[in-house]
Amino acid sequence: MTSGAKIFLKSNHRANGSDGSDIFEELSNLVTEQVNPRTRRIDRASTRNILNLMNDEDQMVAPAVRGEIPQIARAVDMIVAAMQQGGRLFYIGAGTSGRLGVLDASECPPTFGCEPDLVQGVIAGGIGTLVKSREGVEDRAAAGIRDLQRRKFSAKDVLCGLAASSRTPYVLGALEWARGIGSKTIFIHCDASNKRRKTADVVIHPVVGPEVIMGSTRMKSGTAQKLVLNMLTTASMVRLGKVYGNLMVDLQMNSRKLVERSKRVVMMVTGLEYAEAGELLAKADGHVKTALVMHLGSLTRRKAQHALKKSDGHVRQALAFSRK
């Protein structure tokens, strides 16, 4: 045993006031910590059969997530309501779960043109743990609270806790504190034995069964969490008017790729040629929504902007408003 492991075990013993047998017992009962009978002989399999085994297990993920759609829908409605009142969405997690939250949050601004602080990912141990694992930071319940306080988390915000096992102290401490100050909470985990219904307003628990490698929740559990996060932010942004049809129309033209994608979106919706789309976007100050409402509604930029403001940024409603 390394000296670091010895120190951790001693400090953990003092912190918990026990020899750790309570945690051992808890882990033994978690679905995510069980041995998968279908992959017991994976160490004897060929490369191709290893991959087949992994792919077979992955087939369980999407159905498990589909079964949680009623809860996911409740969570989306909660997020949309909060954002319409000036609130934000925070993800909080440790390890793989924390990284997934940071990833989803970081992809919202370039995809939907939202402000960088509208969706935020908080990970145990800080930003450095995105690229280098720090074991033990997930055991500090108070740290999750401090990390939220540093970001000025308030009652009008929504907190989404991520913990495949459902037991991460860093996440549970943060959820309990957030509920205590009156904010709405969501908890995503993959353990069937503990729904934690008293821990959050909405509990989403896609149960994908034991992992291919026992306890490696970056696999099926991680995939399930990623799918849910995709659904939470994408559905919320659709509800908030960030798309027209299935096209991204709140793009920020801050890279060559996004400039060209913006032109392509305008061309697809309006039927304009490449050069014409570029000219229209220039008149719209580079804002795709404004350009679309200007062209489809035969409006000046100022009137298109007014229509969008009156319709809370929804292109269809803005066009309907402009025709009244």
Active site positions, annotated: 107, 138
- The residue written with tokens 């402000």 in the block is 115
Measured CA to CA, the distance from residue 77 to residue 310 in angstroms comes to 21
Cβ pair 161, 172 in contact under 8 A: yes
User: Measured at the alpha carbon of residue 225, what is the angle toward residues 27 and 90, in degrees to the nearest 5?
Assistant: 100
Measured CA to CA, the distance from residue 244 to residue 219 in angstroms comes to 34
Could you say which DSSP state residue 255 is in?
S
Task: Show the tokens assigned to 236.
Answer: 């919320």
Strand 247-248 to 243-244 pairing: antiparallel
Alpha helices in 29-120 (DSSP H): 47-58, 61-66, 69-84, 95-112
Burial classification of residue 109, based on how many CB atoms lie within 10 Å of its CB (0-12 exposed, 13-18 middle, 19 or more buried): middle
Residue closest to 311 by CA, chosen among 295, 299, 296, 293: 293
Other C-beta atoms closer than 10 Å to the C-beta of 85 total 8
